[in-house]
A and B are shown apart, each in its own frame.
Chain A
Amino acid sequence: MKILVCISNVPDTTAKITFTDNDTRLNKNGVQYIIGPYDDYALARGVELKDQTGGTLTVLHVGEAEADPQIRKALAIGADDAIRVNADPLDSYFVAVQIANVAKQNNYDLILMGRESIDYNSGVVHGLVAEMLGIASYSPVMKLDIADGSATISREIDGGKEILKAPLPLVLGCQEPIAEWKIPNMRGIMTARTKPLTVVEPVSVDELTVPEKYFLPAPKGACKMIPASEAATLIRLLQTEAKVL
């Protein structure tokens, strides 16, 4: 089985977000980058499925060379090789076209990624890629097993969950608890250094959406403290002052 795992390179979940260049760019100064947490779950399950089925796993990133340490980490965790599409993507559509383009040349059985990237949170790349390839996609997938050319998927739906059986190939957006995050071991780190990381140039895409300016939310007003002994007055304040009851 041929597996492709797409990873995003995003600021750590605890990073303080600020902007530069007249609020047109993220300030990367002092920001620690990580593999997108949801993509990390997809990668972990991908490695398990690769080991079970004796298949191959390629990791793909659409972005610039600054992501290479994260790509090497994915190789250390268990990917066999990596492809980086060398671009500074502006929107989900651009990323999806690049992923679909790589996928068309390689006929993967399974394309995994996180349910969303935690920087732009759109959660649309898996759907876009699948439609471009003319195959099915599901998200958010919380359990995944493969047998006899089809996948058994447990996914979250509004207020519950659904179990589906669907034939491969598939594109899946993953989230916990699909697998436990994997930490690379020393042997993995050593072998990752010599695994192939191919850099390819992007195919051209029409600009459909363009980010113009970034800004931070207005600062929150002070928290009104209520003494524990007068807790009951909170309900009245919520009704008459905050007007939310």
Chain B
Amino acid sequence: MSVLIYVELDNGSIKKTSLEAVAYGAKVAEKTGDKAVVLAIGRADATALEIAGNYGASKVLHAADDKLSHENSLAYADALAQAAEQEGSKIIILSKSGLGDAMAARAAAKLKAGVVSNVTALPEINGSFKVTRGIFTGKAFATTELKSDIKILVIKKNVIEINEDDVASANAVVETFSPQLRDADFQASVVNVEKASSELSLTEARIIVSGGRGMKGPEHWQPLVDLARALGAATGCSKPVSDLDWRPHHEHIGQTGIKVAPNLYIACGISGAIQHLAGVNGSKCIVVINKDPEAPFFKAADYGIVGDVFEILPKLTEAAKNL
């Protein structure tokens, strides 16, 4: 028996959110007395995959078929289900993302597994198997019991803390995994892929600096970008800003945009509409800078500064550079 964890790769390395999934899966395996086995799909060197061992995995299955080098949720879900059968896995863990949800859903239907997404804590295993998940876009939580034989959990970012000092150095054994590929999974052709490769991905970022209409126009974004650079942060924006085309749509954070859960979220000139808050309520620490002391965002913030963003941002950038 084993707990199976699917890890996403980025340029041949395991993504940070997926390493959290490995650590989470290893903790679950400890509770159930199973091994933690990782599945990685796509091009990667064995040395880049071995590090899963540091987070508690004993084995990594690596599916490196050329046909799988481009992200394909249909084929990946097939591979996940086959890996679960091979390893006798009763618990499958994925990290929350478009790909994670798609694979979890398809694998759940194949394996007749109960699937719970947005899991926010380790399961309670005590005769029954219960997890806590975020609902109503972070406005509430639910305790949910999984009654199925096979259980699939899609975990939210920052569910468990990885302290890099505590990370063991134990390499996992990397095994080649060759799932049976079905033609039906390869009917679509990829016409074009646009990746903003130079930018830090919002879902992976530990720090995000985000701007709203208070930034007054796309030409005024530089002070915000400067602070983001000084902090090693990604940049985001509110819905009105992406609607006005001041910033690209993939930067839009909120209920109908990207949901983020960084350690630090700095909101500049964002009033804090409930739909925006829904996208950031997983953040550990929120800083709000706004000229309006009545801005609702202050109620959701840990730190606030009332004032002109264009005066405050350069001061913060200067202080951040001196860290």
A binding-site residues for B, Cβ under 8 Å? 11, 13-14, 17, 19, 37-38, 91-93, 96, 118-128, 130-132, 134, 136-140, 142, 152, 155-167, 175-177, 206-217, 220-221, 223-228, 231-239, 242, 244-245
Contact = CB atoms under 8 A, between A and B. Distances in A.
A131 B106 contact: yes
Given A122-B116, A163-B193, A166-B189, 10 more contacts: A13-B275, A156-B250, A159-B199, A213-B143, A220-B300, A223-B299, A225-B303, A228-B306, A231-B312, A232-B315
Interface in B188-214: 188-197, 199, 201-204, 207
Contacts of A157: 71, 98-99, 193, 195
B256 A176 contact: yes
Contact of A158 (B145, B187, B201): B201
B105 interface: yes
> Which of B138, B145, B300: most chain A CB closer than 10 A?
B145
Contact of B302 (A177, A213, A228, A242): A242
Interface of A is mostly: mixed
A13 B278 contact: yes
Interface in B293-323: 298-308, 311-312, 315-316, 318-320, 323
B187 A166 contact: yes
Given A160-B193, A177-B249, A238-B264, A223 B303 contact: yes
Contacts of A126: 105
B188 A166 contact: yes
17 contacts: A37-B256, A93-B114, A119-B135, A121-B134, A124-B154, A125-B105, A127-B104, A128-B108, A166-B188, A207-B147, A211-B144, A215-B140, A215-B143, A223-B299, A225-B298, A231-B311, A242-B264
A13 B51 CA distance: 42
B101 A221 contact: no
Interface string B61-77: 00000000001011001
A237 B303 contact: yes
B221 interface: no
Given A93-B114, A166-B187, A217-B141, A228 B108 contact: no
B111 to A, nearest CB: 10
A208 B307 contact: no
Contacts of A14: 274-275
Given A122-B115, A224-B302, A160 B250 contact: yes
Interface in B10-36: 10
A164 B192 CA distance: 7
B199 A214 contact: no
B189 A164 contact: yes
B309 to A, nearest CB: 10
A132 B188 contact: no
Interface stretch (B40-48, B82-90, B167-175, B282-290): B282-290
B275 A208 contact: no
A136 B189 CA distance: 12
B148 A128 contact: no
A206 B114 CA distance: 10
Contacts of B102: 127, 137-139
Nearest to A131: B109
Interface of B: 8, 10, 71, 73-74, 77, 97-99, 101-106, 108-110, 112-118, 130, 134-148, 154, 184-185, 187-197, 199, 201-204, 207, 231, 249-250, 255-256, 263-264, 274-275, 278, 281, 284-285, 287-288, 298-308, 311-312, 315-316, 318-320, 323
A237 B298 CA distance: 17
Given A210-B144, A212-B143, A124 B307 contact: no
B191 A208 contact: no
A164 B136 contact: no
A127 B101 contact: yes
A137 B256 CA distance: 20
B180 to A, nearest CB: 16
Contacts of B99: 157-158
A236 B319 contact: yes
Contact of B115 (A11, A124, A130, A206): A124
Contacts of A244: 207, 263-264, 284-285
A64 B106 CA distance: 27
A216 B140 contact: yes
Nearest to B232: A245
Contact of B305 (A122, A209, A234): A234
A124 B193 contact: no
B159 to A, nearest CB: 15
A209 B146 contact: yes
Contacts of A232: 315-316, 318-319
B98 A164 contact: no
B56 to A, nearest CB: 24
B188 A118 contact: no
A242 B114 contact: no
A93 B319 CA distance: 51
A213 to B, nearest CB: 5
A220 B285 CA distance: 11
